[in-house]
Amino acid sequence: MKEIGKKAANATVASYGITDATAHWNLSPEKLAEISVELGQAQKTDTGAITVHTGEFTGRSPKDRFIVKDSVTEDAVWWGDVNIPFSPEAFDKLYDKVVAYLSGKEIYVRDSYVCDDPSYKMYLRVINEYAWSNLFAYNMFLRPSEQEIENFNPEWTVINAPGFHADPAVDGTRQHNFAILNFSNKIALVGGTGYTGEIKKGIFSALNFILPHQ
């Protein structure tokens, strides 16, 4: 296991069950873009920006969005075609598969936060299979100071594995892609899709549940 970059001393992807990986923490946007181009996952344009082919999905897949139905959410979510329930047991099994898939890979970790108002500020960690997905997180979410990174303790974590495809017959998903919120574990699990909007929407959906209760 290698963990490279600026991070809290006790921060490790091993705490998520990811083993034997090389984890790059809080890389600069320039470095993330460079890695993406070097790996053939992106192309540099004449403006200096990079372009990426996200693959099968160029937008969200609302029918593949799930919420874990447990003691936190059972009586607090309006279940139906929009908020589709997912069992805690199925989530745990799928989570284990995703972190096993990420184990042994080069992965990219971003510490950030949402909600600029100190009363609602929520620290967020994003773990990505691809550097360009981590660049999206850099652009989308608010950036902590170096001092905050040194003492960073995330409230929520996004684990994003576009290359992992679920088996619907076994994993309880509708098809191979999925975006699942677990409010008890405070995990957003996204797989099978390169569309990074699922990362943003997952956390904003979590906030839409959390903030009204505050």
**174/76 Cα distance (integer angstroms):** 23
Strand order of the β-sheet with 187-191 is 2-5, 22-25, 106-114, 122-128, 156-161, 187-191, 178-182, 65-68, 84-86
pLDDT at 62: 85
The verdict on residue 122 lying in a domain is yes
The verdict on residue 174 lying in a domain is yes
pLDDT at 169: 98
The verdict on residue 183 lying in a domain is yes
The verdict on residue 34 lying in a domain is no
The verdict on residue 26 lying in a domain is no
Looking at the structure of the chain, the number of domains it has is: 1
CATH at 162: 3.40.449.10
The verdict on residue 38 lying in a domain is no
The verdict on residue 36 lying in a domain is no
Per-residue pLDDT of the chain (214 residues; tens, 9 = 90+): 999 999 999 999 999 999 999 999 999 999 999 999 999 999 999 999 999 998 888 778 889 999 999 999 999 999 999 999 999 999 999 999 999 999 999 999 999 999 999 999 999 999 999 999 999 999 999 999 999 999 999 999 999 999 999 999 999 999 999 999 999 999 999 999 999 999 999 999 999 999 998 8
> What residue numbers bound the domain in which 101 lies?
61-213
SS3 content of the chain, % helix, strand, coil (to 5): 30, 25, 45
The verdict on residue 189 lying in a domain is yes
